[in-house]
C-alpha cells in the first residue's frame, strides 16, 4: 500500500473539528492547517483549546479559532451551532471527532449514557444544526470497536443492564456509522450537494482513556497504545483523507494494514449491523426525539 501524506491544498476552506485540543482532533487540525485551511477548534476547555491552537499552522495568520462546546451537553451544542450560523460564514467540513472511552457510568438530563451522548448524540444534533451552512461534507470518526456494538434503544441510559463501559463505547461507535449511512441516504434522497463519510484511526496513541476514572484503565490505554499503536498523526490521516479527498458519500476509511490496526488510509470494513437500514432509521427517529432536532427528510426504501 502506498504511503499517503500528500493532502491537497485547502486554502479558503473552513473546517470545524470537535475535541481538537489534543489527540486525533489536534493532529487533524495541524495537518489541515499546514495545507492552508481555516480551522475552528471546538473544545470543551477554551484554555486547553487556546494552548493547542498555538501549535496549529496558520494561527499567526488568523486562520485558527477556538470556540467552546461540550458535545455531551445539548444546550452547549445548540449555543455553539447558533454562534457559527450567526457568523454568516459557511463551514465546508464538519469533523465529528470528540470522544470518550471507558468513563464511569453517568447519564445526561435526557437519560442517555455518557459514551452515547458524547460520541454520538451531541454530534447528531450538531450536524443537524449546521446543515444550513455546510457546503461539502460531514466526517464521522468511528472505531473498529463498532463491530462489538449492540444498541438497545429502550435502555440508552444503561438503567436495566449492568454497566459495561467498553460495550457502551462500542455501542456509541456503531451509532456513529449507522448515523453516517442514514445521513448519506437522506442527502441523496433530498438531492443535497453534501457528503457523509466516516473514518477510524486504527490503533493510535492518544489519551482517550484519560477520563476513565480508573487508574489501571488509564495506564493500560496510555502505555498500551504507545507500545503497539501508530503515532496520533498517522491515525489522524484517515480522518484527513475522508475530509479532503474525492471519496463518494457513504465511504468509510481506515488503516490499510492487518485488522485495520495500522497503515495508510484505505477503504475500511463495516459490520453488517452498521448498514442495517431499519436500525439506522429507528436510531435516527429516537435521536430526533431526544435532541429536538429538525428531521431531515425520509429516504425512499428499496
Q: Which residues are catalytic?
A: 169
d(CA 208, CA 172): 14
Tally DSSP H helices, then E strands, for the chain: 9, 8
Q: Which of 197, 221, 219, 195 is nearest to 208 (CA)?
A: 221
Q: Which of 178, 191, 162, 16 is nearest to 87 (CA)?
A: 16
Query: CB count, 10 Å around CB of 32?
Result: 30
Instruction: Identify the bridge partners of residue 96 per DSSP, sorted by sequence position.
Output: 140
Query: CB count, 10 Å around CB of 30?
Result: 21
Angle at the Cα of 174 from the Cα atoms of 173 and 176, rounded to 5 degrees? 65
d(CA 35, CA 232): 18
User: Is the torsion defined by CA of 203, 171, 147, 265 positive or negative?
Assistant: negative
Using a 10 angstrom Cβ sphere, with 0-12 exposed, 13-18 middle and 19 or more buried, the burial of residue 54 is exposed
**H/E element, 106:** none
Amino acid at each position: 500500500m502506498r504511503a499517503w501524506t500528500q493532502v491537497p491544498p485547502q486554502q479558503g476552506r473552513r473546517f470545524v473539528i470537535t475535541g481538537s485540543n489534543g489527540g486525533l482532533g489536534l493532529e487533524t487540525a495541524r495537518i489541515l492547517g499546514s495545507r492552508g485551511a481555516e480551522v475552528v477548534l471546538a473544545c470543551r476547555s477554551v484554555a486547553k483549546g487556546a494552548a493547542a491552537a498555538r501549535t496549529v499552522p496558520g494561527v499567526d495568520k488568523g486562520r485558527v479559532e477556538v470556540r467552546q462546546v461540550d458535545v455531551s451537553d445539548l444546550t452547549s451544542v445548540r449555543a455553539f451551532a447558533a454562534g457559527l450560523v450567526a457568523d454568516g460564514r459557511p463551514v465546508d467540513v464538519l469533523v465529528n471527532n470528540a470522544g470518550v472511552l471507558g468513563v464511569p457510568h453517568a447519564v445526561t438530563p435526557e437519560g442517555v449514557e455518557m459514551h452515547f451522548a458524547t460520541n454520538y448524540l451531541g454530534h447528531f444534533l450538531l450536524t443537524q444544526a449546521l446543515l444550513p451552512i455546510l457546503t461539502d461534507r460531514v466526517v464521522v470518526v468511528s472505531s473498529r470497536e463498532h463491530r462489538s456494538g449492540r444498541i438497545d434503544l429502550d435502555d440508552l441510559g444503561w438503567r436495566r443492564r449492568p454497566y459495561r463501559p467498553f460495550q457502551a463505547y462500542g455501542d456509541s461507535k456503531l451509532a456513529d456509522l449507522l448515523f453516517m449511512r442514514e445521513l448519506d441516504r437522506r442527502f441523496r434522497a433530498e438531492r443535497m450537494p453534501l457528503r457523509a463519510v466516516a473514518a477510524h484511526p486504527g490503533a493510535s496513541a492518544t489519551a482517550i482513556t484519560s477520563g476513565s476514572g480508573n487508574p489501571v484503565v488509564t495506564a493500560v490505554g496510555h502505555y498500551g497504545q504507545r507500545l503497539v499503536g501508530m503515532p496520533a498523526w498517522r491515525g489522524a490521516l484517515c480522518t484527513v483523507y475522508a475530509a479532503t479527498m474525492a471519496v463518494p458519500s457513504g465511504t468509510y476509511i481506515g488503516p490499510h494494514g492487518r485488522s485495520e490496526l495500522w497503515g495508510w488510509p484505505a477503504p475500511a470494513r463495516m459490520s453488517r449491523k452498521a448498514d442495517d437500514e431499519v436500525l439506522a432509521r429507528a436510531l435516527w427517529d429516537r435521536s430526533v426525539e431526544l435532541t429536538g432536532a429538525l428531521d431531515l427528510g425520509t429516504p425512499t426504501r428499496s
